[in-house]
């Protein structure tokens, strides 16, 4: 699964730490997500999409 | 409390607990280690509640699940191999047989407990309220 978290996060000028805090996960999880090394649960994906003010289908896609 | 402070305190508590635990056993006092273990567990539990940052998340739970499964599989295989070796050598030393039996039963209990807990969570709708 591919994601555009880094692109949308930098566009909103949010740090990984801030996004992690808002999504309720550790910073390391955001790092692994951005590197494409971890596939999030639906709940986390929705939380991240909400925090990045982006539709989930624009944020995540099947590679 | 920040996660960094919590981790520092946790390391300190573990060192102090291990020191008191070992010294008490050397002095053949079995009451103090139990007290210290309980007290340190309660202290860490209380401090954990005070941490405002996220300590564990869904990725940790996922890794934990995979690690637990692999640990059980590895432990079982190693245990079974050692058990057969001890049984094969039981003619040379009669003490090997009870050790092999204990090992076999321990592995059986471990696997049965794992299966029972796995079946429980797969039948009941697994939902951790703290996470969901």
The domain segmentation of chain B, as residue ranges, is 3-50, 58-123
- The C-alpha of A57 sits at a distance from chain B's nearest C-alpha, in angstroms, of 21
Question: What pTM was computed for the model?
Answer: 0.74
**The pLDDT of residue B31:** 87
Segments forming the whole domain that contains residue A18: 2-61
Whether complex ipTM tops 0.90: no
Domains identified in chain A, total number: 1
φ, ψ at A45 (rounded to 5°): -60, -40
Ramachandran region, residue A16 (left: φ > 0; alpha: ψ -120 to 50; beta: rest):
alpha
Give the CATH number for residue A40.
1.10.260.40
Whole-angstrom distance, CA of residue A37 vs CA of residue A31: 9
Q: Give me the average pLDDT of each 10-residue run along chain B (132 residues).
A: 88 93 87 90 91 87 93 94 93 92 94 92 70 52
Contact B100, B114 (CB under 8 A): no
**pLDDT tier for residue A9 given thresholds of 50, 70 and 90:** very high
Q: Does A32 touch chain B (CB under 8 A)?
A: yes
- The C-alpha of B63 sits at a distance from chain A's nearest C-alpha, in angstroms, of 11
Three-class DSSP category at A55? coil
**The pLDDT of residue B28:** 86
**The pLDDT of residue B126:** 63
């Amino acid at each position: 699964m591919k994601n555009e978290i880094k692109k949308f996060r930098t566009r909103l000028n949010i740090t990984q730490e801030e996004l992690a805090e808002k999504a309720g996960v550790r910073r390391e999880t955001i790092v692994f997500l951005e590197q494409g090394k971890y596939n999030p649960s639906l709940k986390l994906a929705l939380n991240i999409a909400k925090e990045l003010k982006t539709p989930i289908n624009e944020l995540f896609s099947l590679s | 409390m920040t996660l960094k402070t919590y981790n520092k305190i946790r390391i300190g508590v573990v060192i102090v607990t291990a020191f008191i635990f070992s010294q008490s056993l050397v002095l053949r006092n079995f009451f103090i280690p139990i007290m210290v273990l309980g007290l340190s567990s309660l202290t860490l539990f209380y401090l954990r509640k005070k941490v405002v940052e996220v300590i564990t998340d869904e990725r940790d739970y996922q890794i934990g699940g995979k690690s637990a499964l692999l640990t059980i599989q590895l432990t079982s295989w190693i245990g079974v191999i050692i058990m057969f070796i001890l049984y094969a050598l039981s003619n040379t030393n009669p003490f090997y047989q009870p050790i092999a039996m204990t090992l076999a039963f321990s592995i059986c209990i471990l696997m049965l407990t794992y299966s029972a807990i796995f079946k429980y969570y797969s039948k009941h709708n697994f939902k951790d309220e703290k996470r969901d």
